[in-house]
Structure 1
Amino acid sequence: MRNTMLLTLLLAVQSIIYGQNSLSGKITDQDTQEPVLGANIYFPALERGTMTDFDGNFNISDLPSGNFKMVVSSIGYASYTQDVVLPSQNITITLNSSAIEMEEVIVSTPFHQLQSDNVMKVERESVSELSKNGAVNLSEGITQIAGVENLTTGLGIGKPVIRGLSSNRVLVYTQGVRLENQQYGDEHGLGISSKGIASVEVIKGPASLLYGSDAIGGVLYLNPERYAPENSTKASLESDYFTNTLGYQTSLMASTAGERLKIIARGSYAAHSDYETGDGERVTNTRFNEKDIKAGIGLQNSVYKGDLRYNFNNSEIGIPEELGVQSTDKDPLLPYQNIDNHILSLDNKFYLNNSSIDLKVGYQFNDRQEFEDHHHHEDHEGEEHEEHEGEEHEEDVHGNEDHEGDEPALEMHLETLNYNLKYNFPKFDNLDVIAGVQGMWQSNENFGEEILIPDATTTDFGLFATAHYHLPRIDFQGGIRYDNRSIETESYIAEDGDILDEVDRQFNSFNGALGAKLDITDNLTTRLNLASGFRAPNLSELTSNGSHNGANRYEIGNPDLDNEQNFQIDLAVEWRNQHFEAFVNGFSNNVNDYIFISPSGEIIDDENVFRYQQDDAKLYGGEIGIHLHPHPLDWLHLESSFETVTGKLDNDDYLPLIPANSLTNTFRVEFDKGKLLSGSYSFITLKNVFDQENPGSFETRTGGYSLVNLGAGTELRTNSALFELRLSVNNLFDKDYFAHLSRLKNDSISNIGRNIMLSANIHI
């Protein structure tokens, strides 16, 4: 590793001999020939950009030599791409007006294309747009993306589910590195604050070619917010209030940038009480609070770009067990989790002559503590006695202040070092090629009195190559990859007294992907992708032996588990013009040696025992949607989407944790310009969730329900500031319902009732 980094630095020094370049040009409207003010000019591979002035002119300096894709975008116009060979002469570009939302560059795929140019279908949404719909946190917000759901234990614990696959089958990337925070556990949340995240990209289906193990079901890629534009300073204050949880969150950001050096910092805090169901009962210990700090330093010139990012997140999350004390307090009761997560990443780009080297390194430290109450099963006699004891119970037993000196029952330290080294070969005609190595070193240590998984060391290493070939009407993309994962554990004494032996396992796999995008007409596009993926069993599946409070069960691992290996066919068809869009996405996903957990009929410590098993499985389904914005009513939008997924084992038993089919319809109006206010919008959404009649072997069916959500917002611009005001109402009619992917459903605890969010943001 050290030799590789030294070689990279030597190559970077050699690249200084290549000249520094600048690019100037003008952006105009094709119909009127008038200059376009505020158009974005962006080089994805360089992560450099600027904006046009009042006359439509732009200039970018300090650019390296080579062939780079340039993207031009502006609200009200179709995004435009062009290959530019630097050094280049002054260029002029005309943009076509369009009512279709402005496209953005997809970062999670290797060639940084616009979605319309991408071979792989990737869903992208800005966090700003997701937050308009009143989501309490990021894991709830991403459920607005078709094919994505949320596996929850209350509001504070949520995990992404992509087309029926979750937990370690969905890989999360943040700051350009894979997130490692003991995410295997069903009762472990996402652990990322939405504040300081600019956008979310979702790859549905196996992405092992790009990311290795754990991307068998898809990737959730979180893009951090950008620095201030060159030679400028910006700041913002964001605040939200939620009526249901009496919760609030506030966030303060500041960023400044010169020609080469950029700095950004953000601090956020959120706190929520127990949520209230549609029946008016508060769900005891669903309260949580979160502190989050994000910071970054960027440096760039014509031969090098570096981006150093740091994120600290502290979360205190209650683990709900039953309906009990009715309280609006925000300090979690016992049992609860206290989690510290540190993420430090450095993204290096070295620009050579017509090629480049990317080196990403990341270090993470996760301290997960769980505090338990050995008295929370006390019985109470009579309703009045129960209420009295509950108040006393909360004050004297559950209060955090009374337990500050207590040691955590469970404490695990997880250290992770990631690296990703890629070489972008010189562009040859219409062919782009990337090759690289990825790896991870990870250690898990126990410090609490309880041990659920042993001390262990995990080592990953992968080699891959991928290529993209572009023709006027068709694009091809494919690649191959080899991965090896080593897991070594120490022996330990489990909760039931058994001595569990060491585990020393090696897992390896070859995988590949091949896809094509065909523009049948100017309006009709189809994408076909074939991909294989793999997932090595995680530590919990191999070695766990203990109680999982959030899951309400005793889990026992299986040290003889093999790789999961899958193959997916994905077909997407899209039709769009300026005023109507439609899409159909279908997939079939065959998973060999699918790992699942099932009750064994045993009882340990008054809890049902679940053991891990394997069998072949198949998932299939897809998404269908339309978006109508008719001319001349371009401000009016009608959107509808339907999503379905079915999962079965080889013996025809249905898989657990498969979301129910759903249909979402949205009526939205937008007004970008006004004499005083701009960016005004309002919407109303009806989400119909159908009966889940195909539960897994230890699940129960879930009845369907309908939820009505609405919202409105506007912007007030002055010469020096932008003020945003937003209002959203989720579950308008206070419906009492059970979501199939709620773990509290088994305890007959409903989901959240009506929730009103008020937001006020200031940007300067």
Structure 2
Amino acid sequence: MFSFLFSSNIFSNGDAFVVEGIVLDAETSEPISNALILLVGTNDYTTTKSDGTFSLHVNRSGAIRIKITHLAYQEKLIDFNSTNEFNKRLVVYLFPKIVNLPSVIVTDNLSASLIDEIKDYSTILKGKELQKQLSQTLAATLKNEAGLSVRSMGPAPSRPVYRGLGQDRILISEDGMKSVDLSATSPDHAVTIEPFTSERIEVLRGPKILTETSSTIGGVVKIVRNEIPYQIHNTYHLTIGGYAETVNKGYLGSIQSEIPFDPVALKFELSKRSSSDLMTPDGLLQNSSSNNLNTAIGLSYIGDFGYSGAAFRLYNLTYGIPGGFIGAHPKGVKIDIGKKQIHLDSKVNVSDANFIQLSYKNIYYRHKEYEFSGRIGSEFRIITNLAKIDYTHSQLFNIEEGVFGVSIEHRDFEIGGFVFTPPTTSFNFSAYLYEEFKLNRMNINFGFRYSYDNVKPKTEHSDSKIGIINKRIFNNISVSASLIYQLSDVLFIGSNLSRSTRVPTIEELYSQGPHLAAYSYEVGNPDLNSESGIGTEIFIYHKYEKLNFNLNVFYNNLNSFIIPRNTGEINYQTFLPIYKTYGVAALLYGLDGSFNWNFYDRLSLSSSFSYTKGIFRENSHPLPQIPPLKGITSIQFNSDNFQVGLSCDWALNQNDVDLFEQATDGYLIFNSFIQFLFNIEKSVNSLTLNVDNIFNKSYRNHLSRVKSILPEAGFNVRVVYKFLL
């Protein structure tokens, strides 16, 4: 399919005329350079420029056929009659194709390996697929990905959970560096990331995550926004976006731009989001509104050596935590978060494919929790300094490619209000490497990470009610290796074996008092050891134009698995349920997968599912907060610039619950979407309309802390629009 746009750039002279147009990626709407534009039946051709535009001289009239080809895209043929049809500008969308050949990729970054190709198929959101999934939070945007669930305590404080693993076992990073907030420590704390302004979102697993975290059984949710420009464009880029939904009267507006002043590039972004209380099929979820302001500016100098730049980001979020369940404040709690960060980044080329990258972040995070009366119940202030140096290489001895480096993190954690966790400083030093080998049809990926952690309370206590509050030092080693064997051009099998470690958080070690917004009385354990265990996984992938699928089976055997458990007791001074932190032996195992089948012309059927079983190793009783068997199935029609589809979110009952944990029923939720890409002059426009929970079905998310009072969102219409120039 193709589109014609009004333009004054088509010239004719008798039977001769000039065809002008632009070629775009159908997935991302980005311009495609070096595409071949051929006049079929002749030797007349041209290629697209870096901005995707082209001009082709045609010296005949009548029926004309143009062929557009590119190594990485599916071929397209366009027919028209020059005498009466072609008086407008041509816009062509090309779909990426799978090339079943060994990868030979020229890039300004680490070359793509086989495992990266598989990851790109199954666990990456970008372009129009990202826009279709965009929701209020990062977790809600990712909820349909295989293996992922959403932990929540109302709409705003939601966070991804992977294969039943939450907290800081799932590291969230922005542009290659850890994102700092308190979302990993408690369900009432929000992730301080605006997904709408991201370029793409990746879910990483396997040995490569050891370059960022020591928890190999978890994963890394990687936000790519390139806030520090790394290349000079030949013209300015502008993106204006908007988002609105009915279920909470929510809206968002954003603007982003990148402006070249060769050899300097400037980039800025601004977004504002607001939502009212959430409407559910059973009523209004009081005190669930939120307001967010996000702004950033980045500047970099780009030359033959690489690039060097800096960025400043300001993020403010105010949101409510609903009340009404056991231990909760009757009218809920308000939380106000402010984050300021300075980001420095430099890449220095050593040779064609080898480079050194130096990165630094300073993050100031402030978090206040207010009772309904306006009194501050809890207050947190964290100052974090992060730094890392990576050396990325191509061929080295028998190694195909890899990276090794070191990182440090210093954290100053201050606490106020009615919270009795002691102010604490922590220091981490890590050294890591990731390497890739290839032996005929076998790809081997290996990762290693050593971590030293020093956690020091500013005031030590030898007679605390929970034990001795003093400095703790942890030394940990994490290792992971993956094997991928290519059975054929389209079929791959593999396995992963890893040793995972995780240092207990400050809250898990030293908490000893009420936590206002979490509605819990938290008791830490200063004698905790590092969490550790062995993870195994077997997977199979099939990659073909008509059928893609993957299936993953995993088994994690963990020692000292650190979890907070509801004891069933009440602290009668605060009337809050008591949650104690334990290190237990645990097993987590299950399977997940997805497939996409183009079964007829432009019709496709897709589905993903996730199942995790978590038990205490000593008695086989269920672990708390394990999601049920769940998934999504959809059917859709695809054309070059139009998509329409119907999907069904489903889950089974979850009756395998810990003591004092609420079971949940299964559900079927139907949704639909329409997405349309169109051009106006030189701009690319994308409009997506989603209708969620079409039948206003009442259902509960098992990982929601407020499921006992009200269900999830009811009938909802979401509209997302983006204008790119």
- 2:153 aligned with 1:192: no
Give the structure 2 partner of residue 619 of structure 1: 588
- Residue correspondence of structure 1 range 379-458 to structure 2 within 5 A: 403=374, 408-425=376-393, 427-428=395-396, 431-446=400-415, 448-458=416-426
Question: How does 1:13-24 map onto structure 2 within 5 Å?
Answer: none
Indicate the SS of the match to 2:508.
Answer: helix
Paired residues of 2:570 and 2:577 also in contact (CA < 8 A): yes
Structure 2 counterpart of 1:82:
none
| Aligned equivalents of 1:30, 1:621: Cα separation in 2 | 51
Distance 1:38 1:152, change over 3 A: farther
1:487 is aligned to: 455
Q: Which of the two has greater strand per residue?
A: 2
8 Å Cα contact 1:216-1:533 kept in structure 2: yes
Contact 1:490 1:502 in 2 (8 A): no
SS at match of 2:504: coil
Match in the other structure for 2:81 = none
- Distance in 2 separating the partners of 1:693 and 1:38: 58
**Could you tell me which of 249, 254, 258 is aligned with 1:251?**
254
Instruction: Give the structure 2 partner of residue 269 of structure 1.
Output: 272
Are residues 1:473 and 2:449 paired? no
Residue of 294, 301, 304 corresponding to 1:302: 304
1:32-111 matches, cutoff 5 A: 54=54, 74-76=72-74
Q: Separation in 1 of the partners of 2:468 and 2:75?
A: 63
Paired residue secondary structure (1:542): helix
Aligned to 2:724: 763
SS in 1 for 2:123: strand
Q: Is the 8 A contact 2:539 2:550 kept in 1?
A: yes
Distance across 1 between alignment mates of 2:705 and 2:675: 34
3-state secondary structure, aligned to 1:132? helix
SS at the partner of 1:187? coil
User: What does the per-residue CA deviation read over 1:233-285, in whole Å, with 9 as the maximum and x for residues that have no partner?
Assistant: 12122111111111111111222124432111111111111111112x10110
Deviation string, structure 1 residues 479-512 (Cα, Å, up to 9, x no partner): 322111110013389xxx9698642000111221
Deviation of the 1:52 alpha carbon: 5.8
Q: Alignment partner for residue 333 of structure 2, among 324, 335, 339?
A: 335
Give 1:670's aligned residue.
Answer: 638
**2:693 paired with 1:734:** no
Cα gap change, 1:741 to 1:460, in 2 (>3 Å): same
Unaligned 5+ segments in structure 1 are 1-24, 40-49, 57-71, 79-95, 324-331, 374-396, 398-402, 673-678
3-state DSSP class of the match of 1:54? Answer: strand
Alignment counterpart, residue 639 of structure 1, candidates 580, 590, 606: 606
Q: 1:653 aligns with which of 608, 617, 621?
A: 621
- Asked if the contact 2:110–2:392 (Cα under 8 Å) also holds between the matched residues in 1, the reply is no
Residue number in structure 1 paired with 2:19? none
Distance 1:310 1:721 in 2: 28
Aligned to 2:674: 712
Alpha-carbon deviation of 1:546? Answer: 2.0
In structure 2, what is the equivalent of residue 176 of structure 1? 176
1:152 equivalent to 2:152? Answer: yes
CA 1:305/1:158 → structure 2, altered by over 3 Å: closer, same or farther?
same
**3-state SS of 2:143 partner:** helix
Shift of the 629–215 alpha-carbon distance from structure 1 to 2, 3 Å rule, reads: same
User: What residue ranges of structure 2 are gaps of 5+ in the alignment?
Assistant: 1-32, 57-69, 77-93
Displacement of 1:101 in angstroms is: 11
Secondary structure of 2:74's counterpart equals: coil
1:585 deviates by: 1.2
Q: Which residue of 1 aligns with 2:597?
A: 628
Q: Is the 8 A contact 1:487 1:504 kept in 2?
A: yes
* TM-score normalised to structure 1 length: 0.78
Change (3 A) 1:587 1:278: same
Aligned to 1:725: 687
Query: 1:209-229: CA deviations, max 9, x gaps?
Result: 322345651111111157586
| Aligned CA distance change for structure 1 residues 174 and 98 (closer, same or farther; 3 Å) | closer
In the alignment, what sits opposite 1:219? 220
1:371–1:195 Cα change, 3 Å: same
Equivalent residue number for residue 522 of structure 1 = 489
Contact 1:127 1:200 (C-alpha < 8 Å) held by counterparts: no
Query: Tell me, what secondary structure is at the counterpart of 1:249?
Result: strand
For the Cα contact (< 8 Å) 1:316–1:338, is it kept in 2?
yes
Note if contact 1:206-1:533 (Cα within 8 Å) is conserved in structure 2: no
Point out the more displaced range, 553-562 or 750-759. Answer: 750-759
1:320 aligned partner, one-letter code:
P
2 CA distance for matches of 1:751 and 1:101? 42
Q: Partners in 2 of 1:424 and 1:98 — Cα distance?
A: 27
Contact 2:323–2:332 (8 Å) recurs in 1:
no
Deviations 1:107-150 (A, max 9, x none): 9x976546564699971112752342462222201112111111
Aligned to 2:291: 289
Instruction: Choose the corresponding residue for 2:241, options 238, 244, 247.
Output: 238
Q: Which residue of 2 aligns with 1:349?
A: 347
1:500-649 residue pairs with structure 2 within 5 A? 502-604=469-571, 605-630=574-599, 633=601, 635-649=602-616
Deviation per CA, 1:718-760: give whole Å up to 9, x if none: 2232333221111000001111111112x33211111111233
Q: How far apart are the structure 2 equivalents of 1:733 and 1:307?
A: 50
> How many equivalent residue pairs?
647
Percent of residue pairs identical: 22
Q: More deviation in 588-597 or 484-493? A: 484-493
Does the Cα contact within 8 Å between 2:676 and 2:688 map onto a contact in 1?
Answer: yes
CA spacing shift, 1:721–1:435, aligned 2, 3 Å: closer
Change (3 A) 1:105 1:609: farther
**Greater displacement, 606-615 / 545-554:** 545-554
Question: TM-score scaled by structure 2?
Answer: 0.82
Structure 1 residues 77, 646: CA separation in 2 closer, same or farther (over 3 Å shift)? farther
Cα 1:456–1:601 shift into 2, 3 Å: same
Q: CA deviation at 1:433?
A: 4.1
User: What amino acid sits opposite 1:552 in the alignment?
Assistant: Y
